[in-house]
Structure 1
């Protein structure tokens, strides 16, 4: 497993890391014992960064992860969770609530310290509140030792500079971007020089576009347009005809970029995590990557957006 430094945090994170949303049964029902074993397998194979949120499965993901980590030495993993989003359409970025949220997460995760605390999906927030209230509250928690580092997450790319440009250097140490660096949408590349210049660590999530680039396909709630979903489905089918695993190609594409510290993959199944690790540790097959990029060219960088109207990216389709 490769390891990279997560911006100015100094944290050395695995190039492929564990996204624990699946532990909350977000995508489908899980077997808890298998989910716990999946976490242990990930750690045993060098995946040392774990990302979760109280939102995933209405706190279930944090609860299951806490059970999994109970028997694991604390220095074996780097733990990230989030504040601000708690249920479908339920957001509260007030200083009071995010401070309370950290204590609740510490209890569920059965730890005394969170390595990285992140404002979750800030496109749904008033960015003035994020700048003036939420981030200061989280930095206050750093003085207590409950959290070490602070970051922000979101889907629209525009929200990142909109916040980072309004705070002092070092206030935002990381960003988590999802569905913006994958085979069908690599628009995050446009922000990489900006983020590198500011020494901000980059966490990439959803290398398969939340299921777009899988044989199962996108779940019914997926916000992508029919055109995007159809374009991805065609690429998946063509890969299958050629005997290629598009998930393998998708993971290798993401992990191959040295400017992205880590890419999150989520699963609650031991066989899936072992396959993902195998894909990440193998040499990237750039001929296959280029071939799939060519297949996806008709919809490349077509996107979907969400959040408050003022926080949304311009729609490309």
Structure 2
């Protein structure tokens, strides 16, 4: 497993990170709790040292379940991040008061003394000025108090990251669905983050199953054209004796400009498979062929959050 420095934080992350959203049953029901918890062991045993969660995942369930495991693991064996500000589908609270409460609750749930990173979660849903003027200053107080080592923002549109990076001091940003075989818009953030010494983390290499052989969930916002083109790319991988999910994972973790790429599952066999894929060489020829198939939908994205916080549609 490769390990990379995260900006100026002093933290070093595994190229593959474990996303604990699945422990909160965020995307599908967890049928076997023991198996779900075993995912943490499999990840750590496979060299993954970065675990990401959020108060939103399972409305706290993900953090609670991590609290069943993390207190028994030496603290220097894992880097832990969580998120605050989003607490349900429509409930957002980025007030300074809630920042302090949320940090304390996350610490208690997970049974740790410090949080390596705390992100403002899905900030595209709220007024950006509040994040700059109230939320991030409150998080800096938590950092000064020693409860948090690094602070940052997470979300979907590139526009809101640029807004924050231009107006506030952050240590790290976490982007998802924007550095994949289909969408590489997050590359826009690389020179900005480098100049400012801000760490950059990628997540969701499979683009919510779009870049897999699995059926898309009902909530997926992919258009009929996007679904059709992605299916052609997946079929091409099958004809070559490969799996588009494998290619997607390898592609997303290969770029050293991103300290880590986060993805998660409640299936320990799946986590073990990802670790194996991460160690195998990528088929560059197949990458080129798949990206050529995906050209008609290159950098397609959907609208998330407030319209004014979103990027301009691809024309």
Q: Same fold (TM over 0.5)?
A: yes
Change (3 A) 1:226 1:98: farther
SS in 2 for 1:185: coil
SS in 2 for 1:293: helix
Establish whether residue 20 from structure 1 lines up as the match of residue 17 from structure 2.
Answer: no
Separation in 2, partners of 1:81, 1:139 = 15
Report what 1:7 is aligned to.
Answer: 7
Separation in 2, partners of 1:289, 1:64 = 37
Matches within 5 A, 1:286-301: 286-301=284-299
Deviates more, 1:238-247 or 1:95-104: 238-247
Report what 2:71 is aligned to.
Answer: 70
Q: State the shift of 1:305 in Å.
A: 2.0
Establish whether residue 149 from structure 1 lines up as the match of residue 157 from structure 2.
Answer: no
Q: State the shift of 1:289 in Å.
A: 1.2
Q: C-alpha deviations, 1:78-107, integer Å up to 9, x for none?
A: 000001000011100000111111111111
Matches within 5 A, 1:176-215: 176-215=174-213
What is the Cα-based RMSD across aligned positions, in Å? 1.1
Report what 1:247 is aligned to.
Answer: 245
Separation in 1, partners of 2:101, 2:228 = 43
Q: State the shift of 1:314 in Å.
A: 1.2
Pick one of 242, 264, 267 that aligns with 1:266.
264
SS in 1 for 2:68: helix
Q: State the shift of 1:222 in Å.
A: 1.3
Report what 1:231 is aligned to.
Answer: 229
Report what 1:99 is aligned to.
Answer: 100
SS in 2 for 1:305: coil
Separation in 1, partners of 2:236, 2:159 = 34
SS in 2 for 1:85: coil
Instruction: Answer yes or no: is the 8 Å Cα contact 2:7–2:197 preserved in 1.
Output: yes
Instruction: Answer yes or no: is the 8 Å Cα contact 1:174–1:201 preserved in 2.
Output: yes
Q: State the shift of 1:250 in Å.
A: 0.5
Instruction: Answer yes or no: is the 8 Å Cα contact 2:19–2:52 preserved in 1.
Output: yes
Q: State the shift of 1:256 in Å.
A: 1.2
Report what 1:159 is aligned to.
Answer: 160
Separation in 1, partners of 2:105, 2:188 = 36
Report what 1:121 is aligned to.
Answer: 122
Q: State the shift of 1:192 in Å.
A: 1.3
SS in 1 for 2:276: helix
Structure 2: any 5+ residue segments left out of the alignment? none
Report what 1:313 is aligned to.
Answer: 311
Separation in 2, partners of 1:296, 1:129 = 38
Q: State the shift of 1:246 in Å.
A: 0.9
Instruction: Answer yes or no: is the 8 Å Cα contact 2:237–2:286 preserved in 1.
Output: no
Q: C-alpha deviations, 1:31-60, integer Å up to 9, x for none?
A: 211111110110111100111001111111
Q: State the shift of 1:271 in Å.
A: 0.7
Separation in 2, partners of 1:3, 1:109 = 24
Q: State the shift of 1:162 in Å.
A: 0.4
Q: State the shift of 1:293 in Å.
A: 0.8
Separation in 2, partners of 1:218, 1:99 = 37
Instruction: Answer yes or no: is the 8 Å Cα contact 1:37–1:68 preserved in 2.
Output: no
Structure 1: any 5+ residue segments left out of the alignment? none
Separation in 2, partners of 1:97, 1:225 = 37
